[in-house]
Structure 1
């Protein structure tokens, strides 16, 4: 009974910390950015340039964070990360100059890597390796509400508080809510290790043979980077892009369909996705995002086409988050999971950081439709990489 309850409690606790972590450290930034720009005396573009730089540096730090998760435990890293997140949010709130603000945002993104999905997935793998794939699905379902909750919260708070005061409140949330929960998970993991004593630790063996792991790592990293580039490029410009192609005030409503579609895809996968292997899940995810981009490129200002685009993108994004956690476990096993996912996250985040600038330049130079087709072509290469990985697993299993 004890071994059943603890993973469920861990998933619920991590769900709360993911909502707070993504809400305070990521989603709220776009709402607070105009206030930051006005307060610091810089343009909104410069604020987002700092944010993109922080995403890039945060991506480079992911392998280092992943190795430490394997060494001291993912929950221990998340506990430290909660304290660092609170501290860096407070540093942002205090920052008297643009230079200190930029440094604080970079540190904030590094600490984000210690408390968001990469670390949460590793915590679930450490807790129950064999049930981790299902737990990841449940966790992403809960975490999918972060934008739904924190976009309105941040928007409402801007009417009463400055962005600095809001960041101080968010720092308190990370310190008072997230850190105790992460600490509790860490203590549960240590208690479980003591109970097991000398009994061998349960592990998951990867589907790839040792000689195929390097090729598989390169292909999966490439595939996630390409699909991540597609998603990051479109999301950064989604509402303005829809307005630019002639959808006017409907752009905001259409864009708001993304979040519910993202949650719905995770719910569908939780109920019906048992028959899909992680490689198949990754292929479906990438294909949905490509189909969405193609639909919008062809339909332009046709309202049903734009709605289909937002839903397809949301469905693909929701499944993509699950695949980021379950596919590495399926292919490479639970041993060294933190380091493996850290390397993949580095490639994905570093590539995604450049996507908004690249897509904006492409739209200016070639127009929205052609830019969407180029994005779809890159996403198609990602699909082919996922297919190659799936094929190599089948060949290994047959041999």
Structure 2
């Protein structure tokens, strides 16, 4: 059920704007770059409030806040659809990205953990597998609806879908969570199951948390830069007309690696998987920069980016859960999300700045270096782990 709401949430609050950008910009007299500047500012607003939302999730319950977030998201979608001018539209878009923190992964992951902490890791994998189809569904759907009724009616339809589909599900999950917690309070306490994987020693929690946050933030900086400009980057590197066709391999690679993670989950420490995932992107960037214009280099690059993106969305939830435990999980995800959103918001601008002052190959190498800083941060955490004693 939450997988369905994540598909609708990501599709209507995030992915659809890459399709509607040109029409919205034309309506308000912006350039397309101007629209994405406003959208980046909206993402920064979401980054600012994400840590506060995480603490609220721990205090009030994830599913309860997801229900509130759905109502507010639908309201903001309606306001953007009816906005008479650019100021109203921009303000509603910024509030929309703020309330999206209440309904997307960083709220859904804690919702699963609060219902069943011992099953949280595997359910996070299940959720990302389902939600991975959001872009594949909503990019063509948005294009089709926009073609017939325009961008305003498209956003209005998405507002209705959020209320009709997501709100009942979030209310139901909230009711189930309350029942589960109520039943747990009436049962005699049981000993917590022994951890399956190495955890961070208590005296190293603060340092490890900041290192994990930095690791995913650096990786998000590099990944967001690539995803925002994948086709132009391939073309600038000299891959030519094949760039668009090759880029379609990204989606299948992302979903395939999540299937693999579902099958083999539990066999490796999530931190090891995280280091592997974060290494794939720098490797792909180096292959693209040094291997252009060979067609095999373009294919390898897109596949590695897809594998990185697919695994990264999983380990961003499983790594803090395994390293630090279920208590305070929402707060930790909120803090990490704030830094990830901020780095992701500025990434397209930074990449354009670097590539404009040098060239596409140099920019790819620079951002590969930034991605490796993320790997290094997780490696430092790996050195701090204490083994599990059974």
CA distance in structure 2 between the partners assigned to 1:111 and 1:201 by the alignment: 37
Q: 2:309 aligns with which of 310, 314, 317?
A: 317
Give yes or no for the alignment of 1:271 onto 2:263: yes
Aligned to 2:25: 37
Distance 2:132 2:190 in 1: 31
Contact 1:129 1:202 in 2 (8 A): no
Task: Supply the distance in 2 between the matched residues of 1:253 and 1:132 (Cα, whole angstroms).
Answer: 37
Q: State the partner residue of 1:169.
A: 157
User: C-alpha displacement at 1:203, in angstroms?
Assistant: 6.2
Measured against aligned partners, the alpha-carbon deviations of 1:174-224 in whole angstroms (never above 9, x if no partner) come to 100001001100000111122223334886878222210110011001100
- 1:312-335 deviations in whole A, cap 9, x for unaligned? 000011100001100111111111
Decide which of 89, 96, 104 is 1:116's aligned counterpart. Answer: 104
Match of 1:231?
223
Q: Matched residue pairs, number?
A: 385
Out of 331, 342, 346, which is 2:334 matched to? 342
Q: Is 1:88 aligned with 2:76?
A: yes
Unmatched segments (≥5 aa) in structure 2: none
1:379 equivalent among 364, 371, 381: 371
Question: Equivalent residues in 2 for 1:137-176 (5 A)?
Answer: 137-176=125-164
Does the residue aligned with 1:274 lie in a helix, a strand or coil?
Answer: coil
Q: Are 1:74 and 2:62 matched, yes or no?
A: yes
Alpha-carbon distance between aligned partners in 2 of 1:298 and 1:21, rounded to the nearest angstrom: 38
8 Å contact kept, 1:227–1:382: yes
Partner of 1:10: none
Post-superposition CA distance 1:44-82 (Å, at most 9, x none): 111100110111110111111111111110000111111
Retained in 2: the 8 A contact 1:53–1:106?
A: yes
Map 1:166-205 → 2, pairs under 5 A: 166-199=154-187, 200=189
Q: 1:210 aligns with which of 185, 202, 205?
A: 202
Which residue number in structure 2 is paired with residue 296 of structure 1? 288
Q: TM (normalized to structure 2)?
A: 0.96
Aligned-pair CA distance for 1:246 = 2.5
| Deviation of the 1:168 alpha carbon | 0.1
**Contact 1:89/1:170 (8 A) holds in 2:** yes
Give the conservation status (yes or no) of the 8 Å contact 2:64–2:174.
Answer: yes
Q: For 1:338 and 1:34, how far apart are their aligned partners in 2?
A: 36
Residue 320 of structure 2, aligned match among 323, 328, 334:
328
Deviations 1:333-391 (Å, cap 9, x if unpaired)? 11111111101111111111110000011111110111111111111111111111111
Q: Tell me the residue number matched to 2:11.
A: 23
1:57 matches 2:45: yes
Aligned to 1:135: 123
3-state DSSP of counterpart to 1:315: helix
2:385 matched to 1:393? yes
Give yes or no for contact 1:130–1:203 (8 Å, CA) kept in 2.
no
CA contact (8 A) 1:203 1:333 kept: no
Please report the TM-score for the alignment, with normalisation by the length of structure 1: 0.94
Query: 1:8 maps to which residue?
Result: none
Q: Distance in 2 between matches of 1:203 and 1:368?
A: 52
Question: In the aligned structure 1, how far is the partner of 2:59 from the partner of 2:248?
Answer: 41
CA distance in 2, matches of 1:197, 1:272: 34
Distance 1:37 1:317 in 2: 29
Q: What is the alpha-carbon root mean square deviation over aligned residues?
A: 1.5
Gaps of 5+ in 1: 1-12
> Is contact 1:67–1:338 with CA below 8 Å preserved after alignment?
yes
